[in-house]
Structure 1
Amino acid sequence: MSRVRIFTDSTSDLSEELYRSLQIEVVPLYVIFEDNFYKDGITIKPDRLYELVEQTGKLPKTAAPSPLDFERAFEPIIQKGEDIVFIGLSSELSSTIQNATIAAASFPDGRVTVIDSRNLSTGIGLLALKAAQAAKDGRSSAEIKSLIEPLIPRIEVEFIIDTLEYLHKGGRCSSVQHFIGSLLKIRPIVKVINGAMTSTDKVRGKREKALHQLLDNALAQKDDMDTEFLFITHSSAAEEAVYIKQQIEQQTNVKHVYITETGCVVASHCGPHTLGIVFAKK
């Protein structure tokens, strides 16, 4: 039986330690400032992205890895005799899955399995982590696919966005909405539903209020949580992430609560001080 290697993309937002310890391979998306192409997490980090946005007043564009990028990433692993399971960014948000599927067709049938996470950030990361554990236990690609696909609709991803500025600049929030939201200090709570981002709450007032709403939303589902893993994922909100982690650990039975930072693709769409809670339901 061939060994299986798990691949994901850079929007999965796991820590370097987790990628390394579970031998998860990462294919980066691109961040584009004018004519400059950067590899997410490799040649640009969120701090530098925010500096460039501040300097230029413009947001970068983002792009999926090309089929050739995927072929080049997959080829050495296939040559070693290992099979691949790739779990990537929702097809509702990116052409990443489409391009990985095109690349998979370049290899013998069954050697590369592509799974659409229907999610983003550590919603993908959680699936990749589960898949990597299964691969470590000797599961085949088909077995891993059968394990992961039923989990996809049970992944809960919800996060607060601190400013409408990035959504506005990125064309995801109209000028009127941006103006009114800024005046009223509205902070949207966004949830991933059916593979896409949907605003579920608009919290008016202090950030602490939005933060507690996010926490309350998660704790309301604590009896349905898979207690193995939970992620607190943030961009430039480290202290608040620690606070949320402490609350989750005190009020639930989750065994491993990880804090991770978002990469540049998520940061370019949501902006600084974004914070999310990600877990699987039983």
Structure 2
Amino acid sequence: MKTAVMTDSNSGIKPEEGEKLGVFSLSMPVIIDGKVYFEGKDIEEKEFYDSMISGKDVTSSQPSPGDVMDMWDSILENGYDEVVYIPMSSGLSASCHAAIQLSEEYDGKVQVVDNHRISVTMREAVKDAKWMADNGVSAKEIKDALEKNAYDSVIFLTVDDLKYLKKGGRITPAAATLGAVLNIKPILTTVGEKFDAIEKVRGMKKSLAKLLDYTEEFVNKTLAEKPDAEIRIGAAGTFTNDQAAEEWYNEVKERFPNVKDIYYNPLSFSICCHTGPDAVGIGVSVILRDE
């Protein structure tokens, strides 16, 4: 059986990079002042962030059923016997459950994975899936392995401006106003479901330090429970300044010198719609592949 791996741009893998990795990536739609754009296809980070900063009406959206099924059909018509599709976590969007329902029309040839990830941890799941597919693992077996490993990951996140959380109804207007006055930065986390606030600190410098502290705690706990585990760390963000992104990446590398694979990847537009520009994140994954 020849198995294809498909994801969406919430993984940070855009179509062009997907081609290099040997996976298929569906561009996620975003709506700006009523017009639909597709991430990594007809809009890139700078234009997207500028739209938010300038006050345009920006919202995320689910991919249309037609777009999802068209890509499945194209894959199956071009030499593949089955597809493993890895969308964003069902805890963050209804698009996963919608895809599961659509896949019922394909008699098992399309396996939709709900492994509760997004951004850099989702990226690692896609790479795990590709490695397994290349080694002859079936679509159903890949789905089962990824879902079993779903919660062996975490993302920590902080935001620069609370107005975007307020806009999305995640904090009250009063809390946003007070937070802005006091320079409060929330620490958010997800282990597969919605982002929850676990702490509030004053100032971005302290907030970044907390992200690293929580990440180190998770890494140490994971390695204590699974000494042979292979760890990957992805620094992430919605930086409007390339230098700031580089500085964050270097901070993460300096804090975790024993982790051999640390990289930077922008947060997806779907996350940025809720966090705004200049959010900072970090994700840890236990990988399944043997590299």
**TM-score using structure 2 length:** 0.88
Give the letter aligned to residue 94 of structure 2. Answer: S
Q: How many residues align?
A: 276
Match of 2:88 in 1: 89
**Cα-to-partner distance string for 1:96-124 (whole Å, 9 max, x where unaligned):** 112322332232x1110001132222221
1:156 alignment partner, SS class: strand
- The 5 A counterparts of 1:232-243 are 232-236=235-239, 237-243=244-250
Match of 1:27 in 2: 26
1:42 alignment partner, SS class: coil
**Cα-to-partner distance string for 1:42-98 (whole Å, 9 max, x where unaligned):** 11222112222233x244111111211111111111112331111111222212112
CA distance in 1, matches of 2:176, 2:162: 6
Match of 1:189 in 2: 187
- The 5 A counterparts of 1:1-282 are 2-14=1-13, 19-55=18-54, 57-79=55-77, 80-107=79-106, 109-204=107-202, 206-223=203-220, 224-225=222-223, 226-236=229-239, 237-250=244-257, 253-281=258-286
Q: Which runs of 5+ in 2 are unaligned?
A: 224-228
Q: Give 1 or 2: higher strand fraction.
A: 1
**Cα-to-partner distance string for 1:149-182 (whole Å, 9 max, x where unaligned):** 1110111111111211211223322110110000
Q: Which runs of 5+ in 1 are unaligned?
A: none
Give the letter aligned to residue 264 of structure 1. Answer: F
CA distance in 1, matches of 2:176, 2:218: 31
Give the letter aligned to residue 48 of structure 2. Answer: L
Match of 2:226 in 1: none
**TM-score using structure 1 length:** 0.90
Using the TM superposition, name which of 150-159 and 15-24 deviates more: 15-24
Pick closer, same or farther for the CA change 1:92–1:238 going to 2, 3 Å.
same
How well do the aligned residues superpose, as a CA RMSD in angstroms? 2.0
Runs of 4+ in 1 over 4 A off after TM superposition: 15-18
CA distance in 1, matches of 2:34, 2:206: 40
CA distance in 2, matches of 1:194, 1:219: 19
CA distance in 2, matches of 1:258, 1:239: 10
CA distance in 1, matches of 2:80, 2:253: 43
How much identity, in percent, do the aligned residues show?
Answer: 27
CA distance in 2, matches of 1:191, 1:26: 25
2:233 alignment partner, SS class: strand
Shift of 1:15: 6.7
CA distance in 2, matches of 1:279, 1:19: 21
CA distance in 1, matches of 2:152, 2:44: 30
Matched-pair contact (CA < 8 Å) for 1:118–1:196: no
Shift of 1:215: 0.5
**Cα-to-partner distance string for 1:26-49 (whole Å, 9 max, x where unaligned):** 112211123201112211222112
Shift of 1:228: 4.1
Shift of 1:232: 0.8
Shift of 1:16: 6.8
2:170 alignment partner, SS class: coil
CA distance in 2, matches of 1:248, 1:143: 36
